[in-house]
Structure 1
Amino acid sequence: MKPLPSVAFVNVSQLLQFVDRLVVERTGKHLDDVQRAVVEGTWERQTYDDIAQKCYVTKNHVGDVGAELWQLLSEILGEDIKKTNFRSSLERVYIESSDNSNIYHINGSNNNFCPTQISNQLSPRNKLYETDINTQSTSHYRDLTVAPQIINFYARQSEIQTLSNSISNDNTRLISVLGLSGIGKTTLVKRFVDLNLQEFELMIWRSLRFPKPLELFVNDLLNSCKQEAKETLDDKLKQLLDVLTDKKCLIILDDVHNIFATTQLAGQYQTEYQDYQNFFTMMAEVEHQSHVILISQEQCAEMECLDEELYPIKCLDLSDLDDVAILKGTGLKNEDSWLKLINLYEGNPVYLKSIAILIKKIFDGEVAEFLGDNSLIITKDMQYNFHQLFKRISPIEQQLVLELSKFDQPVSREYLKQSLDLSSMDLINGLQSLQQRYLVRKIKEDKILFKLSSVFQEYVKNCCLNLQP
């Protein structure tokens, strides 16, 4: 085996593409979300605790995923890979294919992970990959390295149609896909992308799970567009707009909520990411033929529009799923009880996955027996995620959540005003912010009422009532 020259990764996207290809060649599977987070975070010298908080899992889980990934890379590369030497090792890594002695390297000119042909010994799998790269013309370039692989897709056909209409018929330049964590936002957008690969000359998928300042982010986009970035941020934005005007492009930004501040009302930008506000506004207001999709757990002002006919902005709020197909393949029994279970957990696929595991382990898969206890169980994974969410919201919202959690029925704004020591401004802004986080629903009856998400409410009742905001 001949060592490769030192590899300089221009950005995290190239690194992920490189590691993902190594893993695919060995296991046949792409990196999952937590593995990607471990690779990104380790490259950026973050702790496992930092990584865990970013992707809403436990520190121990991140440690286990990291240990397995380092072991796998050690086996692939034939050297001892650890968290401490990951960066240095990947810069000088080399690999020889077990099938055909192909040596792999990063091609910095096009951000693609390409095999170097040795003789004519390419396996059928590698021939297919080489053909895919060679036939990807400059008029149809796709950078979807960090996009997730979709295995199952449920009951979102109307939302797919809404996305298609917004882009194809209404020429909407800025679209936000919004909803609670786990409701299926990323899955929906990836499904749309898979169905429309040939509709765009350029596709770029980026995650803001570990956000970077806008200038570095624009540099990354220009790199994917095969543009040499100019000096100033203004010039770079002009470059990017020229590309979006010249070509029909689709840019997807996932995990946008990570650029918003914690302990503040929803949609307030962190100081270091304030420039994104102008970027999103520019994407919507400046005329071009391309489209930007924002995926977020909370809404900001740039994602809202009072008149979608006048402004090229669209908000797509994802509601609960009520398709029993969500539970297919889980090994659960009593299919006639599945819909009741789905409704109990608000049709959230992530909640349902977590509770399905618990039902299999404790109730031997008997859904009817689980439901017979007449209690809404919050699993340890849900508790962890809700704990992170409760810490994220503002003190005003925490007060509202704690009060709303006491009632199973919707509550009026007038009652909340009497019960809480909040000004009218704080009360109204707090309720709006909780709606922008999809934690509170507005219900129209004789008067306007407000209801906390039932699953989140159960967590608050059991875990937070003794807390003082």
Structure 2
Amino acid sequence: MDIEKMLQFAERAVDEIVFTNRGRHMDDLEKAVLRGTLRRKTYKEIAKELECSDSHLREVGSELWKIISEELGDKISKSNLRSELEKLQVSICSSDCVQQIDSVIYSGEPRDNSGVSPKSNCQRHDLSQMPELGAFYDRASELDTLKTWILQEQCRIIALMGISGIGKTQLARQLVEQIQSEFESVIWRSLEHAPPFAQLEADFIQVFCSPQPEDASAEKKKELPLIQYLQKHRCLIILDDIHNLCCPGELAGKYKPGYEPYKSFFRKIRTLPHQSCLILMGWEHPRDCLPLKKHSSGVGTMQLKGLDPLSTEALLRETELENREQWQMLNLYEGNPFWLKSVVFQIQELEIEPTNISSEHSLLLPENVKDNLQEQFDRLSPQEQQVLHLLAQAEEPVNLGQLLQNQTIEASNSINALHSLCDRSLIERKNKRYSVSPAIKQALHLHDSQKKGY
């Protein structure tokens, strides 16, 4: 195997493994040990080139092999590193993949060194679970960012986060409509019923193996592990309602018992070489799917906010709400499309006048909005519930120092709960201060009253 191609493959894969597990990229010594090992050099030979001690390099190498072993689940050492990486790359670049790549070379187009076959003319899309939604309100900036991450920066996994009703599904649908032609396969699945990973994997493989009209007479394709399909073909997979994999009553992102195979799959998506992309959407995301910064090492995170004033006005204009300029209360719903549409529907159904609702303390909160928020409250850990109540009771936004002055919660628990609530989009952070929106305050008050039997 060409050593230069092996070095490119190894440096990219190992650097992402190190970043995922240690929150940093490989340093120069680690890169030197990796390159030297793949060139079958001894520690002494590598140390001589770097003018450092071979004992120190042995320590660096030992730690590097340990990190790789933990991530891949196999015992990796200096002696077997090259053979293990060669086997991995060979498994990706199967014979039919090689033939497709060679045909691209001979046609004069650039060759892709990642080992993934170029886009095929035969597309296998399954969008049967992609919801039919109404009008799309301007999210041009968010769309541009997502397209850049996926098409230009080859992001492998994207977490699209935000409170229920904020427009995650609508944005993802618009994205799919604009970029689906760039992929051999596009599959949209809802995890509303939290299927075991084996069931989801079998579902995907069935889509990939289903005969197309042009090859209906061909023999049935041999089934492969899901990750190998994503390595051989350029695929876009959207998993909606990802929060159903997470355990209620805990801080955001802890897997339910029995759902650890998803963790292993997401890890492979992050660390193994491929040109596919996985988009995860929900109220909360598994912790291992969130990078240490918003966009790094093939992983992107976008926390969706409410519509801007112009888009909010367009939404309200579409509802044909009379005297909408008098409904100042609607500004308190923070551009959440679901909340706004639900409130306007209630106003129109009951013919409510603006003068009947005079302050944020008497916000309209239709049952569907209240029930949806209460479902999210029921997922909170005890620490999160305490912190959310403290912030909801405050008349002004609270900084971290003020929050930590409360003696009923340990400082570390308060910070962890604060972080988790931010991930769930249940609190707002601005200028290092934290607050709760009027709608969530009222829903929380009603939730507490209901639990007390009022």
Q: Which amino acid aligns with 1:156?
A: R
Matched residues in 2 for 1:395 and 1:342: separation? Answer: 31
Q: How does 1:5-84 map to 2 (within 5 A)?
A: none
The answer to whether 1:206 aligns with 2:189 is: yes
- Structure 2 residue 262 is the aligned partner of structure 1 residue 276: yes
Provide the identity percentage: 32
Q: Does 1:289 align with 2:275?
A: yes
User: Structure 1: how far apart are the matches of 2:242 and 2:296?
Assistant: 25
Inter-partner Cα distance in structure 1 for 2:293 and 2:399: 28
1:180–1:439: 8 Å Cα contact kept in structure 2? yes
Distance apart, 1:242 and its partner CA: 2.2
What is the CA–CA distance in structure 2 between the aligned matches of 1:295 and 1:421, rounded to whole Å? Answer: 34
Describe how 1:206-245 pairs up with structure 2 within 5 A. Answer: 206-226=189-209, 239-245=225-231
Q: In the alignment, which residue of structure 2 is the partner of 1:85?
A: none
Match of 2:321 in 1: 332
Letter of the 2:240 partner, please give it.
Answer: D
| Contact kept? 2:124, 2:185, Cα under 8 Å | yes
Q: 1:335 offset after TM fit, Å? A: 3.8
Q: CA deviation at 1:442?
A: 2.2
> Which residue type is aligned with residue 290 of structure 1?
S
Distance 1:397 1:309, change over 3 A: closer
2:6 aligns to what?
A: none
TM-score (norm 2): 0.66
Q: Cα distance, 1:315 vs. partner?
A: 0.5
Alignment-derived partner of residue 146 in structure 2: 163
CA contact (8 A) 1:254 1:294 kept: yes
Partner of 2:252: 266
Aligned-residue offset at 1:334 = 1.8
Deviations along 1:391-418, whole A, 9 cap, x unmatched? 1111111111122111231112333333
Shift of 1:216: 1.4
The one-letter amino acid of 1:243's match is Y
For 1:363, the aligned partner's letter is: E
Task: Say which of 266, 277, 298 aligns to 1:312.
Answer: 298
- Aligned residue runs from structure 1 range 70-149, under 5 A: 139-149=122-132
For 2:383, the equivalent position in structure 1 comes to 396
Take 1:223 and 1:421, find their aligned partners in 2: how far apart are those partners?
53
Letter in 1 for 2:190: S
**For residues 347-386 of structure 1, what are the structure 2 equivalents within 5 Å?**
347-363=335-351, 366=353, 368-369=354-355, 372=358, 375-386=362-373
Counterpart for residue 418 of structure 2: 431
Q: Which amino acid aligns with 1:434?
A: L
Distance 2:317 2:131 in 1: 21
Give the Cα–Cα distance (whole angstroms) in 2 for the partners of residues 428 and 356 of structure 1.
37
CA distance in 1, matches of 2:440, 2:397: 15
Structure number with higher helix proportion: 2
Distance 1:298 1:428 in 2: 17
| Deviation of 1:467 (Å) | 5.8
Cα offset for 1:301? 2.2
Task: Name the counterpart of 2:433.
Answer: 449
Amino acid at match of 2:288: E
Offset of 1:248 from its aligned partner? Answer: 1.1
* Contact kept? 2:156, 2:270, Cα under 8 Å: yes
Distance in 1 separating the partners of 2:356 and 2:154 = 48
Contact 2:242 2:285 in 1 (8 A): no
Compute the displacement of 1:385 (Å): 1.6
CA drift of 1:317 comes to 1.0
Measured in 2, the distance between the counterparts of 1:356 and 1:308 equals 35
Q: Which residue pairs with 1:35 in the alignment? A: none
Q: Is the 8 A contact 2:246 2:285 kept in 1?
A: no
Query: Shift in Å at residue 422 of structure 1?
Result: 1.1
8 A contact 1:265–1:393 mirrored in 2: yes
Q: What is the deviation of 1:241? A: 2.3
Q: Report the secondary structure of 2:378's partner residue.
A: helix
SS in structure 2 at match of 1:206: strand
> 2:443 aligns to what?
459
Instruction: Check the 8 A contact 1:173/1:290 in 2, yes or no.
Output: yes
Contact 2:295 2:301 in 1 (8 A): no
**Which letter does structure 1 place at the counterpart of 2:418?**
L
2:187 paired with 1:193: no
2: CA distance, partners of 1:358 / 1:307: 41
Alpha-carbon contact 2:158-2:300 (below 8 Å) kept = yes
Describe the superposition over 1:265-291 as per-residue Cα deviations: whole angstroms up to 9, x where unpaired.
000110121221221121111110111
Distance 1:138 1:279, change over 3 A: same
Which secondary structure does the structure 2 equivalent of 1:196 belong to? Answer: helix
Decide which of 136, 155, 166 is 1:172's aligned counterpart: 155
Distance (Å, rounded) in 2 between the aligned partners of 1:150 and 1:430? 34
Once residues 148 and 309 of structure 1 are traced to their aligned partners in structure 2, the CA distance between those partners, rounded to angstroms, is 27
Instruction: Please name the residue that 1:58 is paired with.
Output: none
Q: Is the 8 A contact 1:150 1:191 kept in 2?
A: no
After TM superposition, the structure 1 stretch with the greater mean CA deviation from structure 2, 271-280 or 261-270, is 271-280
**Cα pair 1:402 1:465 within 8 Å, conserved:** no
- Radius of gyration: which is bigger? 2
- From the superposition, tell whether residues 466 and 308 of structure 1 become closer, same or farther in structure 2 (CA, over 3 Å): closer
How many residue pairs get matched?
A: 319
- Where 1:146 maps in the other structure, the secondary structure is coil
1:409 matched residue in structure 2: 396
RMSD: 2.4
Change beyond 3 A, Cα 1:308–1:319:
closer
TM-score (norm 1): 0.64
8 Å contact from structure 1 (residues 331, 360) kept in 2: no
Distance 1:275 1:321 in 2: 36
2:188 is paired with a residue of what secondary structure?
strand
Check whether the contact 2:252–2:287 (CA below 8 A) recurs between aligned residues. Answer: no
Residue in structure 1 matched with residue 109 of structure 2 by the alignment: none
Task: Kindly indicate whether the alpha-carbon contact (under 8 Å) linking 1:363 and 1:370 is maintained by their aligned counterparts in 2.
Answer: no
Which amino acid letter does the alignment assign opposite residue 269 of structure 1? Y
Is the 8 Å Cα contact of residues 409 and 451 (structure 1) preserved in structure 2?
A: yes
Following superposition, the deviation at residue 371 of structure 1 comes to: 5.2
What stretches of structure 1 of length at least 5 have no aligned partner?
A: 1-136, 229-234
Counterpart contact for 1:174–1:284, Cα < 8 Å:
yes
Pick closer, same or farther for the CA change 1:440–1:147 going to 2, 3 Å.
Answer: same
